[in-house]
Chains A and B, each alone.
Chain A
């Protein structure tokens, strides 16, 4: 699972550069999460890796499934492809750059990646993108990834869910939908 592991390692490295704490279990008291730039309702029983404006959630371990919410300043929105976001960006333009950044974050540019769905979505009162990707890791494991993103005057917000296609992806998809729908800016 080199592709997935690399993505997750990068994600965790990004988080660790912030005010990282250890993994904590989400309970009823900590369910409503308040970051500097957004709030969201988290699934109880899942483990939370908290770095303020960027968080990772997983139930069984990040190799089996994870949900992340990231806030990025406009000038740091797409660092791999060296592009900024802006509050006036169209959802399709934002989707285009998000896919480019996702592909660029892999060594091989993910030739096996398929875009199964790419359409506008309303998220926290803003029109953004809703993308469903599928790709194979270098060991041939199929992985599905969902990405929803929006921009406002502060920056770019990205909610991501990734899990192996078999068994895990569909099982926790509704949890991701619930987290995404609970997002407030």
Chain B
């Protein structure tokens, strides 16, 4: 049982669901779906405590190691937020918007209410893995906020969450911004699955609703918390770029790094990731774009090893043997324990043979 949680007032059915949710928590942990960063987790918990001071000990924030954009609540007070979502947000007020919304689903027992209306939980769980980044986990899926609740419940979560945001002193003007970037991503990636409990029309409606709420406020200069937030997600942001590239999801990297303010938010080494995204997309002009990006990475972040490797591969393919060898050597100097050292040494041996045969 979660520390501090009061389950005495629950009905037997609610208690059963509570325990199912706890089993799901265990399953996520055992299967390695949680992102292990105690500092980030305690920071998010602190944000949640600001929003829900009377629920300290009853709500737990957990981070899912998944690049998809999502957050959801379980009926036992576990609020899950994906690393993909965290990496996209700009400031604490934005993450507070999401946590405040999800918290309402728990405090207002939306899962219990949903249970009565869900007729076909199998249909709900069918695409769970696609949306959450976690394999399907049975009928509890239908009772979490993953697919959204009824329109009335979502409106309630928006309105109550907005109130929580304001009471905690956050800059409420960040609430619609949070959903605007989600909408941009849904549009750019042509996503048709439910994405953070809404498809395109739902997100547009939510942005309108938040803008109306913001306009009703006389004070909108609350706490934004950009510096504090970024200091907690810097590492995660770069890890996510690596994840996207490993999954060949170059569109997501381009969406993030082609933003005009991208390099205010990301270190100079992110130029390398931009270069890799162009290389993987491989459309007309992308080869030149990727080379330019690698070169910029080397100029601006000369100690970042991977850029030398990328340029070395480019030179090797273009028969610029000396340049290729020099870049590979620099790569291995900077990263002597490189995981792909075997490949690089193999390529260097091939370059040597080619130079001798010329």
Q: What residues make up the interface of A, taking CB atoms closer than 8 Å to B?
A: 2-3, 6, 78, 81-83, 90-93, 95-97, 99-101, 103-104, 106-109, 111-112, 115, 118-120, 127, 135-140
Of B31, B339, B346, the contact of A112 (CB 8 Å cutoff): B31
For B, the interface residue count at a CB cutoff of 8 angstroms equals 28
- Cβ-defined partner of A137 (8 Å) among B31, B340, B343: B31
Provide the residues of chain A in CB contact with B129, threshold 8 Å.
107-108
Is B118 in contact with chain A by the CB < 8 A criterion?
no
Contacts of A135 in B (CB 8 A): 32
Please give, as numbers and ranges, the residues of chain B lying within 8 Å of A127 by CB-CB distance. Answer: 346
The answer to whether A108 and B343 have CB atoms under 8 Å apart is no
Q: Are B27 and A138 in contact (CB under 8 A)?
A: yes
Write the chain A residue with the least CB distance to B313. Answer: A90
The contact of B67 among A81, A109, A136, by CB within 8 Å, is A109
CB distance B135 to A111 under 8 Å?
no
Given A112-B32, A138-B135, also A103-B340 (CB < 8 A)? no
**Within 8 Å CB of B27, what residues of A?**
138-139
Q: Given that A3-B135, A100-B247, A109-B133 are known contacts, is A120 also in contact with B67, CB under 8 Å in the complex? A: no
B31, A136: Cβ atoms closer than 8 Å: yes
Residue among A96, A97, A111 having the largest count of chain B Cβ atoms under 10 Å: A111
The interface residues of chain B lying within 8 Å CB-to-CB of A138 are: 27, 31, 33, 134-135
A-B pair count, CB < 8 Å, reads: 88
Which B residues touch A3, using CB under 8 A? 135
Tell me the complex Cα distance, A118–B341, Å. Answer: 9
Shortest Cβ distance from B64 into A: residue: A111
Docked CA distance A185–B252 (Å): 38
**Chain B residues whose CB sits within 8 angstroms of the CB of A107 once the complex forms:** 128-130, 133-136
Q: Is the CB of A103 within 8 A of B247?
A: yes
Cβ contact of A109, chosen from B136, B247, B339, cutoff 8 A: B247
The answer to whether residues A136 and B342 also contact, given A81-B247, A83-B248, A108-B135 and a CB cut-off of 8 A, is no
User: Is B102 an interface residue when CB atoms closer than 8 A count as contact?
Assistant: no
Q: Is the interface of A mostly helix, strand, loop or mixed?
A: mixed
With A107-B135, A112-B31, A112-B32 already in contact, the answer to whether A92 and B340 are too (CB < 8 A) is yes
Further 16 A-B residue pairs, CB within 8 A, beyond A107-B130, A138-B31: A6-B135, A83-B248, A91-B343, A91-B346, A92-B347, A93-B313, A100-B248, A103-B246, A107-B135, A111-B66, A111-B133, A120-B342, A120-B343, A135-B32, A136-B30, A139-B31
Instruction: State whether the Cβ of B160 lies closer than 8 Å to any Cβ in chain A.
Output: no
Q: Which chain B residues border A96 with CB–CB below 8 Å?
A: 246
Bound-state CA distance A100–B33 (Å) is: 18
With the chains together, A82 CA to B247 CA distance in Å? 11
A-B pairs with beta carbons under 8 Å apart, 14 shown: A2-B136, A6-B135, A93-B313, A104-B247, A104-B248, A107-B128, A108-B33, A108-B135, A111-B35, A112-B31, A118-B343, A127-B346, A136-B32, A138-B135
Report A-chain residues with C-beta under 8 Å of the C-beta of B243.
109
Interchain CB contact under 8 A, A120 and B346: yes
Contact B66 A119 (CB under 8 A): no
Also in contact, A108 and B246, with CB within 8 A (given A92-B343, A118-B339, A140-B31): no
Tell me if B158 is interfacial: C-beta within 8 Å of chain A: no
CB distance from B147 to the nearest CB of A (A): 16
CA distance A136 to B340 in the complex (A): 23
